[in-house]
Amino acid sequence: MTEKKKREHFGSKIGIIAAAAGSAVGLGNIYRFPCVAGENGGGAFLIVYLGIVLALGIPMMVGEFVIGRRSQKNPVGAFKALAPDAKGWPLIGYMVVLCGFLILAFYTTVASWTLESVYKSVINYYHGKDLATIEQGFNDSINLTVRPLLWQAVFIFISAFVIAKGISKGIEKYSKILMPVLVIILIVLCVKSLMLPGASEGAKFLFKPDFSKIDSKVLISALGQAFFSMSLGMGALITYGSYVSRKDNIVTTSLMVGLSDTFIAILAGIIIFPAAFSFGIQPEAGPSLAFNTLPMLFNQMKGGYFFCLIFFILLVIAAWTSALSLLEVVVSYMTEELNLSRRKATIYSSVGVFIISILAAMSLHDGSGLTIFGFTVFDGLDKITSMVLMTLGGLLTVLFLGWKIKKQDFEDEFTNGGTVNKRLNKIFYFIIKYLAPVAIAVIMFSQFLM
């Protein structure tokens, strides 16, 4: 009773955009982007980031959709189907599925902090507390044993619940509701943050580039952030691409998804930096920015209780729709390659993710000793996926598109059989064949030389 059924597809264009934007827009935009931008000079980082999104990110997103839609399969099946004669290429498929799985494990840990923050908002924990107390409280809750695991279990459960329902009745339906809610909440918060005294310093930090700050570290961080934020290099968009109908225009879809992803990251920056500057918090403050600075912002505001609560609900929503796409990578692989039912595949993969996410969470406890390669399990998973698996996955994917599959097949998929995007095809193909592999390889290897 598994794969013999007709393959499910997204039911509408808006549904595809909501689902793919749901995948792209996540903790990476609202929590990670401000952190990375803060650590890399703000405006200078933003310029490099925008360049990478336009020159590499969007073409690669189209590339992943091409592989998925052409093959109509999960990432492992897709590489096999498109290169039936080649032994090595399907390994990329396994690698991206593994990468999706590992990312989901540490993503779940961060998602559990968002649920903890919703809980704290509900009980009005932040009210009247100063920054040091809020920070201490954040560290204390990471060190707790049971509650973080409970939140992780809740997060995995709500993700598995949607995934078990399938594509149009699960992922698409929920993304169509959740994404507009997310955008509305963001815009309200943006306006609030910009009205703070001293907010213009924060805006300046984000938008006024200091070109002398651009160095190879900024380039590497921007590439890693763009990949992570646009959900590239780990099979999510190959999988979603396989549910896109032949009539839909994957190029305009990618443009819309890529640009909205970037727009939302910038909105998050507009919320966080003015607030940080207004309270005298360093923009390099890392996780503290979203989890501790913002409650301070809300503390000072009329209606702060309410805004704090909706902000953390926003983070949960963003994390949830992204987790769906990561879980779907693993579930589609298990249903199609291992012939499991969707229900079983969802249960097995969720349990697997839960186990690793427990290790990731516990590794953050003071003195836990849970380390890999000298990092906590949590940081190790982040590093292995973002520095190695994701970039390598991206590199091999563009090499596959440019050098392994037939040019004609790429063109056919890109232009919907010669009916759309004919002019853009050449440019995108050139980028995928030459520019992207060289750029990714240079940036990827240079990170090991630093």
Residues of this chain that bind ligand PFF (CB under 6 A): 23-24, 26-29, 100, 103, 228-229, 231, 234, 236, 322, 325-326
295 near 201, Cβ under 8 Å? no
3-state SS assignment for residue 151? helix
For residue 375, the surrounding DSSP H or E stretch is: strand 375-376
Nearest to 17 by CA among 331, 185, 249: 249
Strands 375-376 and 371-372: antiparallel
Task: Output helix, strand, coil percentages for the chain, rounded to the nearest 5.
Answer: 75, 0, 20
Residue 351 class from Cβ within 10 Å (0-12 exposed, 13-18 middle, 19+ buried)?
Answer: exposed
152 near 112, Cβ under 8 Å? yes
State the CB neighbour count (10 A cutoff) for residue 373: 8
| Least separation in angstroms between CB 31 and ligand PFF | 8
Pick 205 or 228: Cβ nearer ligand PFF: 228
The token duo for 291 is 């989890």
| Least separation in angstroms between CB 226 and ligand PFF | 10
- The residue with its CB nearest to ligand PFF is 28
Pick 23 or 415: Cβ nearer ligand PFF: 23
Pick 231 or 363: Cβ nearer ligand PFF: 231
| Least separation in angstroms between CB 430 and ligand PFF | 26
Pick 100 or 137: Cβ nearer ligand PFF: 100
| CA distances for 186 relative to 14, 47, 439, angstroms | 20, 22, 33
For residue 371, the surrounding DSSP H or E stretch is: strand 371-372
Where in 89-219 does DSSP place strands (E)? none
Q: How far apart are CA 384 and CA 253, in angstroms?
A: 30
Pick 201 or 379: Cβ nearer ligand PFF: 379
Pick 376 or 386: Cβ nearer ligand PFF: 386
Q: How far apart are CA 238 and CA 76, in angstroms?
A: 10
| Least separation in angstroms between CB 274 and ligand PFF | 22
For residue 269, the surrounding DSSP H or E stretch is: helix 250-278
One-letter amino acid at 269 equals: G
| Least separation in angstroms between CB 28 and ligand PFF | 2
Pick 164 or 237: Cβ nearer ligand PFF: 237
| Least separation in angstroms between CB 79 and ligand PFF | 16
| Least separation in angstroms between CB 110 and ligand PFF | 9
Pick 326 or 362: Cβ nearer ligand PFF: 326
| Least separation in angstroms between CB 30 and ligand PFF | 8
Q: How far apart are CA 268 and CA 260, in angstroms?
A: 12
Q: How far apart are CA 198 and CA 163, in angstroms?
A: 44
Pick 118 or 296: Cβ nearer ligand PFF: 118
| Least separation in angstroms between CB 81 and ligand PFF | 20
